[in-house]
Amino acid sequence: MKQQLQEIQKQALASLSEIRDVRELEALKVEYLGKKGKLTQILKGMGALSAEERPVIGQMANDVRIALEEGIADVRARLEREILNNKLKTEVIDVTIPGRTKPLGKKHPLTSVLDEIKDIFIGMGYEIAEGPEVELDYNNFEALNIPKNHPARDTQDTFYISENVVLRTHTSPVQIRHMQSHNPPIRIICPGRVYRSDTVDATHSPVFHQVEGLVVDKGVTMGDLVGTLQAFAKGIFGENTRIRLRPHHFPFTEPSAEVDVSCWGCGGSGCRICKGEGWVEILGAGMVHPNVLRECGIDPDVYSGFAFGLGIERITMGKYGIDDMRLLFENDMRFLKQF
């Protein structure tokens, strides 16, 4: 058995020196070290040995196995080096060839304008508040002083999921949630997506974006609202921009106003953009109605506040001279690359 083990080691090491590829190496490994390999067959006969011979043959067989495994590992390393060297010789890379440039992604114009708006109000000390787009009827209407029989609740304007659940028609419910969970002073803006049952055309979409603002504190006046909106208009449209307030009605503010800015196209002299009027409407605003404050647990005899809401699409169209809102949602790269 000693002679057989010595002969197996001699044959295997001789065969290893002639190996030229990995397949031959794997076949040799199976031939000598596999379950039915030559070394394994020798070890099966150890049961017939005497107690004195068994440890001697076992040690010798183990030494042979170690020698074969080391030899196989050395040959495998040699073959892998040869494969790598051949690959480096045949797969030549010309490092002087210019690389393929990848187009850089850019912000969508709506995102760019929203970021500008956020920066302006954050600079004035506002915080950003967010809320769910699927909203309770109470938060979307009733808490905002819009009773059950109000025309704004008509199903032609609102997407109803159930009798008491809607897709929010404005981000005002975020203001309600914030007032119910925070004590004054409050100074927030509420950006987000809103939904209304509108027909798609150049100036309307059933899905659009708003930013609403809310300030509640002691001694807040209409003058504070005007000053805030003037600062916003100058920040978004330029230092020469002026604003104009026109009386209006909103159920959740009193008094209420629609706010115009001097036309960004002509500066107020009259042009196609403003239809010759010199002014463009951009938002609605007003002093928070006492009923809304009271509904949120805030005493209107102690605190007052103002709120405003603007459409991001309208601001974006004005800033970039876009005449069709649908372009903002069609994902046409020819259009988006301009920004």
Comparing CA positions, the residue from 195, 137, 132 lying closest to residue 164 is 137
Q: Are residues 188 and 257 in the same domain?
A: yes
Provide the pLDDT confidence category of residue 252 given band limits of 50, 70 and 90: very high
What is the residue-averaged pLDDT of the chain? 88
Angle at 335 between CA 113 and CA 320, to 5 degrees: 35
| Domain end call among 61, 90, 119 | 90
The answer to the question of residue 103 being in a domain is no
Q: Is residue 66 part of a domain?
A: yes
Q: Determine if the peptide bond prior to 185 is cis (ω within 30°).
A: yes
Say how many domains are in the chain.
2
Banded pLDDT at 257 (limits 50, 70, 90): very high
Instruction: Pick the most confident of 150-154, 275-279, 283-287, 324-328.
Output: 283-287
Phi, psi angles (nearest 5°) of residue 119: -60, -40
My answer on whether 233 and 330 are in the same domain is yes
As a whole number, mean pLDDT of residues 155-181 equals 90
Q: Among 34, 110, 106, 327, which residue's Cα sits nearest to residue 118?
A: 110
Q: Is the peptide bond before 255 cis (omega within 30 degrees of 0)?
A: yes
> Closest Cα partner for 299 from 178, 189, 183?
183
By CB atoms closer than 10 A (0-12, 13-18, 19+), residue 89 is: exposed
pLDDT confidence of residue 308 = 96
Mean pLDDT of 131-155: 88
User: Does any domain span residue 239?
Assistant: yes
For residue 99, being part of any structural domain is answered with: no
pLDDT for residue 155: 61
- The C-alpha atoms of residue 165 and residue 134 are separated, in whole angstroms, by 7
In a domain, 39, yes or no: yes
- Please indicate, yes or no, if residue 117 is contained in any of the structural domains: yes
Same domain, 31 and 163: no
CA–CA–CA angle 309, 310, 316 (5° rounding): 165
Is the pLDDT score of 156 beyond 70?
Answer: no
> Which comes out higher in pLDDT, residue 121 or 5?
121
Mean pLDDT of 36-62: 75
Mean pLDDT of the 63-71 span: 84
Last residue of a domain, one of 62, 90, 118: 90
- Identify the domain containing residue 30 by its residue range: 2-90
Q: Residue 243 has what pLDDT? A: 92
Do 179 and 313 belong to one domain?
yes
Residues of the chain above pLDDT 70, percent: 98
Residue 94 has pLDDT above 80, yes or no: no
Position 173 in a domain: yes
On the question of pLDDT at 202 being above 90, the answer is no
The 10s digit of each residue's pLDDT in 284-301 is 999 999 999 999 999 999
Work out whether strand 127-128 and strand 186-195 pair parallel, antiparallel, or are unpaired: parallel
- Tally: H helices and E strands in the chain: 11, 10
Confidence of residue 127 (pLDDT cuts 50, 70, 90): very high
Same domain? 79 vs 141 = no
Where a domain ends, among 63, 90, 117? 90
Could you tell me if 139 and 268 lie in one domain?
yes
Q: What is the CATH number of the domain that holds 280?
A: 3.30.930.10
State whether 173 and 251 are in the same domain.
yes
Domain presence at residue 115: yes
78 with 119, same domain? no
Same domain for 198 and 62 = no
Q: Do 180 and 83 share a structural domain?
A: no
**11-15, 225-229, 244-248: least confidently modelled range:** 11-15
Domain shared by 114 and 66, yes or no = no
Q: How far apart are CA 279 and CA 242, in angstroms?
A: 9
Distance CA 95, CA 97 (A): 6
Question: What is the predicted pLDDT for the residue at 284?
Answer: 94
Q: What is the mean pLDDT of residues 68-86?
A: 87
d(CA 85, CA 50): 52
Tell whether the model's pLDDT for residue 153 goes beyond 80. no
* 151 and 272 co-located in one domain: yes
